[in-house]
Amino acid sequence: MTSQPNYFLQFQHADIDELADVIGELLQNPITIEDVDHKLIAYSSHGESTDLARSSTILGRRVPEKVLTRLWKDGVFQQLFTQDDPVHIPAKDEVGLGKRVAIAIRKGPDILGYIWAQEVNRAITAEDDEVLRQAAKAAVPRLLQRQGKGKAEEQRRKEFFWELLLGNHTSEAAIKQKADSLQLRLPTPFLVCIVESTVPQLEQLLYPWLKRHKLLWVTDGQQIIMLFGLSPVAEAEGVTLAQYAEQFLTELLSQIRDRFGKEHKVTEVYGCAHKTYRDIEHGYQEALQVLQIKRLFPVETRHVHGFRDLGIYRFLPQLKKWADAEGYENERLSLLRQYDRENLTNLTETLESFLDAAGKASVTAQKLHIHINTLSYRLRRIEEITGVDLEDQNQRTSLYLDLKLEKLRE
């Protein structure tokens, strides 16, 4: 078995720019090296040939967004996240990208950046893949050295944010003093947003987005928790913080869907606007409550993202505690469910649909795919079985709440 030569042994002390030139000479093709945020770190001076994507990256010091989106859609970054070997990428002329071979620069599970070889002067072979594997390892200490100070500062800011989320600071003055020491500008007013998703490597996906918007964030399992404030432009235009959050989350969701499709579940929620930094903990709990309610009532709250829009649903967990403590059960609903079991009917579902539609018969009939006369008959039977008057708003509200509380118990 022939051992592979060490292509970079004599270049151990080369800086990142020299490393890019060495890789370019070995592969006889143009090279770019980027950080994890897709900002340009170094590029080779090899040859004159280049494509629009490379020239735009060099001029703008960052990979164009349309190129990144296309690579996400085509699964390129998903491959880079999950394998140590180079990824061969066919040309994507519609975004100005010629043939490429890319490899992630990786330190353990963390990706530090990427090496891109433009396949323009000659084809990149299996032997060249080994060059790129060794180049990625050689780049690790150089990127760590470059990122060390910034990463340490980012980690301290994240630790501070966790302290705020968990209510570990009781003094507003102490919070402001700590933020100043970290050179951190906390927004006011603010709200806490949570994005929860089954998308793998969610933080890796959103990292460039979060950095560009200068957000403070932490991760908790499949969640990214963000402190969110108005941008100067939105503030000048008179946009409310809740409106801005809705716009931001809609755009964020679009980014995720563009890159991963719709097969992964994504839930985005936020709490109320607050002005006192001690209330960051309160805002976090509000966002968590929205998340909990959306898990329990996914259909009813599919269009709800903010705590202020929960309506009666924000009272349900507390109502359930009271009802359970009293051993309360709605006897009228029990009668209706018993009738459904004995007669193989679905009058309970009809009742809930009618109440969900605020008593609008035409909307209910359409939702249940039945004729309006059929609905009228069912509603009369419900009144006969339960003894309830569906024209009485008090009784309707009570039934509605108890139907939702039963779902909580289930």
Classify residue 234 as exposed, middle or buried by CB count within 10 Å of its CB (0-12, 13-18, 19+).
middle
Same domain? For 324 and 253 the reply is no
Span 64-98, pLDDT tens digits: 888 888 888 788 888 888 888 999 999 988 888 88
Query: What is the end-to-end Cα distance of the chain in Å, rounded?
Result: 63
pLDDT above 70 covers what percent of the chain? 96
Task: Give pLDDT, residue 207.
Answer: 77
For residues 279 and 172, the answer to whether their CB atoms sit within 8 Å is no
Q: Is 276 left (phi over 0), alpha (psi -120 to 50) or beta?
A: beta
Separation of alpha carbons 35 and 39, rounded Å: 6
Kindly state whether residue 340 falls inside one of the protein's structural domains.
yes
Q: Same structural domain for residues 141 and 38?
A: yes
Per DSSP (E only), the strands in 141-198 are 191-197
Q: Which of 118, 147, 176 is the last residue of a domain?
A: 147
Mean per-residue pLDDT, 229-239: 83
Last residue of a domain, one of 261, 287, 309: 309
In this structure, the answer to whether residues 184 and 298 fall within a common structural domain is yes
Residue 4 belongs to a domain: no
Compute φ and ψ for 118, nearest 5 degrees.
Answer: -80, 120
Question: Residue 192 falls within a domain, yes or no?
Answer: yes
Which pLDDT does position 1 carry in this prediction? 44
pLDDT tens digits along 276-300? 999 999 999 999 999 989 988 888 8
Mean residue pLDDT of the chain comes to 87
Give the domain extent around 366.
319-409
pTM of the model: 0.66
Domain contains 156: no
Shared domain check, 290 and 344: no
In this structure, what CATH number is given to the domain that contains residue 84? 3.30.450.40
pLDDT per residue as tens digits for the range 340-372: 999 999 999 999 899 888 889 999 999 999 999
Q: Dihedrals φ, ψ of 302, to 5°?
A: -65, -25
- State the pLDDT at residue 150: 66
Same domain, 106 and 172: no
- In-domain check, residue 159: no
More confident residue, 208 or 182: 182
Q: Is the pLDDT of residue 407 over 90?
A: no
Cβ contacts of residue 114 below 8 Å, gap of 6+? Answer: 33, 34, 36, 38, 80, 102, 103, 104, 105
Whole-number Å distance between alpha carbons of 84 and 105? 9
pLDDT-derived band at 208, boundaries 50, 70, 90? confident
How far is the C-alpha of 325 from the C-alpha of 410, rounded, in Å? 17
Residues 206 and 172 in one domain: yes
Number of domains in the chain: 3
Quick one: average pLDDT of 321-340? Answer: 87
Give the separation between CA 42 and CA 220, rounded to whole angstroms. Answer: 33
Domain-located, residue 157:
no
